[in-house]
A and B are shown apart, each in its own frame.
Chain A
Amino acid sequence: MSASGYVQHYSAKVSDIYFIRPIKMFKSRFKFAQTKVAVGALLLLSCLPFAATAASLEAQLSQYAATAKAANPGFAGFSAARGEALHTRNFASGKPDTPACTSCHGKDPRSAGQTLTGKRIEAVALSVSPSRYADPAKVEKWFKRNCNEVIGRECTAQEKGDWLTFVGSR
């Protein structure tokens, strides 16, 4: 009795190996292939905002360049150094509690800033916030608001281009 019971048990084990294992292996392979596709898609997707930003930033810069050229025939391209000078300069013409861009954005373009009411502002450097400049209308909206606050007037195309070149290089 006990011997036949053992054999039965053993044969069941064999059938396990022959029938169930291959199916399991196939399943796991299939899963692996799915994972590869998913990882690939994710990688591609994560590159998209970056590519979109780069393209829209370029388009916006060339638009500012055209306007700057029209205003000043001697215009010879944007400068990150001029942009940085604008970013750190103290103006007396705007609101007294925000004399400079750095009042809220902070001195280091790669770290986050803070509004006067304590709200976090993502870092301005493109390398840290790759999707920051993807929407040209949003960029314009904030130039308009912030230049008025800090300088007391709207920024020129030259200033906007310089500043975007500065943050784009950081």
Chain B
Amino acid sequence: MKFPTRPVSLGLLVLAFSALVFSRAQAGGGHYYPPVVDPVVKEECGSCHLAFPAAMLPAASWKRMMGELENHFGDNAAVDPALARKITAYLVANAGDAAGQRYSAKLLRGVDAASAPQRITALPQWVREHRKVPDWEWRHKDVRSKANCTACHADAELGYYED
């Protein structure tokens, strides 16, 4: 009996392709960041701006940020110490470099976690992904700030940033 080379190789090709698509879909094409689910963290970090997903920064960044809340990008965002500890624990547990975290490999590529970067919008991958956004769009009255993710990413609050 002749070995059915063509059907088998075709079948393997289809399988390989769908596996690739599936893995991309699972990772959201690298543009999915699980939103903050803890109600306290959501309230405290999400009143002035979108509660940015913990996976967008490494743990060292969150630790430094939570220690400098009196000068939080120019604002005093201090919270009482017990609350700060609770928020820090959540952010560190879900940070981009936390164990088991698989959503932010791309965003944190080339980032030295020890340098504890503070601005998500200054991460090299963030800059690269947004390089085609013209200046006037950033200045648009519905955008105004690079921290205003939802202005363009309609489903940012759900964790999706691909559009």
Give A contacts to B, CB under 8 Å.
Answer: 95, 115-119, 145, 148-149
Whether the Cβ atoms of A117 and B48 lie closer than 8 Å is yes
Q: Please give, as numbers and ranges, the residues of chain A lying within 8 Å of B49 by CB-CB distance.
A: 115, 117-119
Residue with the greatest number of chain B CB neighbours at <10 A, chosen from A115, A117, A145:
A117
Question: Could you write out 6 A-B pairs with CB less than 8 Å apart?
Answer: A115-B48, A116-B48, A116-B145, A117-B48, A117-B50, A118-B144
Q: Please give, as numbers and ranges, the residues of chain A lying within 8 Å of B84 by CB-CB distance.
A: none
Q: How far is the CA of A166 from the CA of B148 in the complex (A)?
A: 31
Residues 124-146 of B, flagged 1 when their CB comes within 8 A of A and 0 if not, give 00000000000000000011110
Q: Please give, as numbers and ranges, the residues of chain B lying within 8 Å of A116 by CB-CB distance.
A: 48, 144-145
Query: Which of B4-12, B70-78, B93-101, B103-111 has 4 or more CB atoms under 8 Å from chain A?
Result: B70-78
Q: Separation in Å of the B41 CB from the closest CB of chain A? A: 15
Q: How far is the CA of A62 from the CA of B142 in the complex (A)?
A: 40
Whether the Cβ atoms of B151 and A118 lie closer than 8 Å is yes
Given A117-B147, A118-B150, A118-B151 in contact, is the A95-B74 Cβ separation under 8 Å? yes
Closest to B146 in A: A117
Whether the Cβ atoms of A145 and B76 lie closer than 8 Å is yes
Q: How far is the CA of A15 from the CA of B145 in the complex (A)?
A: 74
Residue with the greatest number of chain A CB neighbours at <10 A, chosen from B46, B47, B76:
B47
Give B18-76 interface residues, CB cut-off 8 Å to A: 46-50, 74-76
Q: Please give, as numbers and ranges, the residues of chain B lying within 8 Å of A145 by CB-CB distance.
A: 75-77
Q: Separation in Å of the B160 CB from the closest CB of chain A? A: 17
Q: Separation in Å of the A5 CB from the closest CB of chain B? A: 60
Whether the Cβ atoms of A119 and B50 lie closer than 8 Å is yes
Closest to B46 in A: A119
Q: Please give, as numbers and ranges, the residues of chain B lying within 8 Å of A148 by CB-CB distance.
A: 76
Q: Separation in Å of the B39 CB from the closest CB of chain A? A: 14
Closest to B151 in A: A118
Closest to B148 in A: A118
Q: Please give, as numbers and ranges, the residues of chain B lying within 8 Å of A95 by CB-CB distance.
A: 74-75
Q: How far is the CA of A136 from the CA of B85 in the complex (A)?
A: 22
Q: Separation in Å of the B71 CB from the closest CB of chain A? A: 12
Whether the Cβ atoms of B145 and A118 lie closer than 8 Å is yes
Q: How far is the CA of A35 from the CA of B145 in the complex (A)?
A: 49
Q: Please give, as numbers and ranges, the residues of chain B lying within 8 Å of A115 by CB-CB distance.
A: 47-49
Q: Please give, as numbers and ranges, the residues of chain A lying within 8 Å of B150 by CB-CB distance.
A: 118
Q: Separation in Å of the B36 CB from the closest CB of chain A? A: 14
Whether the Cβ atoms of A117 and B76 lie closer than 8 Å is no
Q: Please give, as numbers and ranges, the residues of chain A lying within 8 Å of B148 by CB-CB distance.
A: 117-118
Which of B48, B74, B76, B143 is A119 in contact with, Cβ under 8 Å?
Answer: B48
Q: How far is the CA of A24 from the CA of B108 in the complex (A)?
A: 64
Closest to B48 in A: A115
Q: How far is the CA of A115 from the CA of B76 in the complex (A)?
A: 15
Residues 82-123 of B, flagged 1 when their CB comes within 8 A of A and 0 if not, give 000000000000000000000000000000000000000000
Q: How far is the CA of A148 from the CA of B148 in the complex (A)?
A: 23
Closest to B145 in A: A117
Closest to A137 in B: B80
